Amino acid sequence: MRVLVITSSFPRDAYDIAGRFVLEHAQALMAGGIDVHVLTWAAAETGVQDVEGVKVQRVNYAPRRHRTLFYGSGAPENLSKAPLRGLLAPPALVAMLTRAAFDIGDFDAIIGHWLVPGGWIARQIGRAFGKPSLVIGHSGGVHLVAKLPRPVRSMVAATLRGPTTVSSPTLQHKARNFGIHADVLPMGFHQPAAEAGGRDWMFMGRLEPIKGLDVFLRAFNGGTIRIAGDGSERERLESLADKLGVDAEFLGIVTGPSKLKLLNQSRFAAFPSITQRGRHEGLPVSLLECASAGVLPVVGDIPGVEDYLADPTLQTLGAKPGETIAKLESLTDGELQAMSELQKERVADLEWSVLGPRWCELVAQLPTN
């Protein structure tokens, strides 16, 4: 079986973390015998055409210096910071529709990541050419459609109807509210070869407002926190940590051995996400990676994530994050080790080795449009 995948985010090389879960999803399908080819929009940087065994075609939609709709902070953040970038959407849609229509004859099915634009394109191409299609609704796309004016939202939802997945029951409910019925099937993760150690804190993710790291730093009364990631908020967060006297080490983006070292040094991982203009996060892959290594995720406003926590009463930051941090810090090493072991068990069923076959079965059984 050959599958064409449309996505607005995909690693530009083996060290890029942008859309890495889309890469891992493609690899999980390939491990099940499915031949995958990815179409993604080109970024300002030149991307390679083969990332860790997955073939990629990067579609140009504007001169290089103007390819600013995707990547960076992500399309929703890019648009909120510079609304005129929305003018790039029509040429981007036309370019991808044209490319997908040209390629689809060589494939048996088409998958679109994010409800819009990738999911919408996949659905329209599938219908036009009589190919099975699957839309994968990540949190950003679900929230983007939910914010559209009601007539536009209803029209978009009608054009998206068909086989659809989302990562959590919360997103499933939100999508159902505007007319899209989706099954819950999360993205998976690879268990890192690391083991929690010490009592230090870590953060791993994009340094953007929705991550809520500034709120966490103001409440932090623990020891050391190592912050892995990059984004538009980095300079401000570094200044804030310095002003507050927080022992914070900003590491930039970490991969490979550097990520394993960070996990090995940590006992707690902060995911203090907030709801921003109705948008909240889904199920961060980095949270699953930390949990699988026995690093205890301590979370903010991520609806539904409590199902994967060893002790939601202790690992949810709530309205007084400082108190939660202090309670965790007061636990003995033995108590923390017991929580870590339970934490590993809670996320074991979300490893790609378990979820991959389920995804392959779903794709193989897609109905023809």
Asked whether residue 216 is assigned to any structural domain, the reply reads: yes
Q: Residue 151 is part of a domain; what is its CATH number?
A: 3.40.50.2000
Cβ atoms 135, 123 nearer than 8 A: yes
pTM here is 0.89
For 21-55, the pLDDT digits (tens) are 999 999 999 999 999 999 999 988 777 789 999 99
Q: Are residues 91 and 231 in the same domain?
A: no
Pair 171, 159 in one domain: yes
In the chain, the DSSP E strands lie at 2-7, 35-41, 50-51, 54-59, 109-113, 133-137, 164-166, 183-184, 200-204, 224-228, 247-252, 266-271, 296-299
Residues 133 and 248 in one domain: no
Amino acid at 98: T
Among 201, 347, 174, CA closest to 265: 201
Task: Take residue 363 and report the two structure tokens written for it.
Answer: 């794709």
Looking at the DSSP assignment, which residues form a beta bridge with residue 249?
226
Q: Number of structural domains, the chain?
A: 2
Q: Are residues 83 and 51 in the same domain?
A: yes
Same domain, 41 and 78: yes
Same domain as 116, residue 206: no
282 in the same domain as 156: no
Does any domain span residue 345? yes
Residue 282 predicted with pLDDT over 90: no
- Residue 123 and residue 178 in one domain: yes
Range of the domain at 314: 200-350
Has residue 369 been placed in a domain?
no
Assess whether 242 and 144 both reside in one domain: no
Split at pLDDT 50, 70, 90, the class of 87 is: confident
**What is the pLDDT at residue 70?**
85
In a domain, 356, yes or no: yes
Please check whether residues 31 and 145 belong to one and the same domain: yes
- Whether residues 172 and 114 share a domain: the answer is yes
Whether 277 has a pLDDT exceeding 80, the answer reads: no
Relative to beta strand 2-7, strand 35-41 is parallel
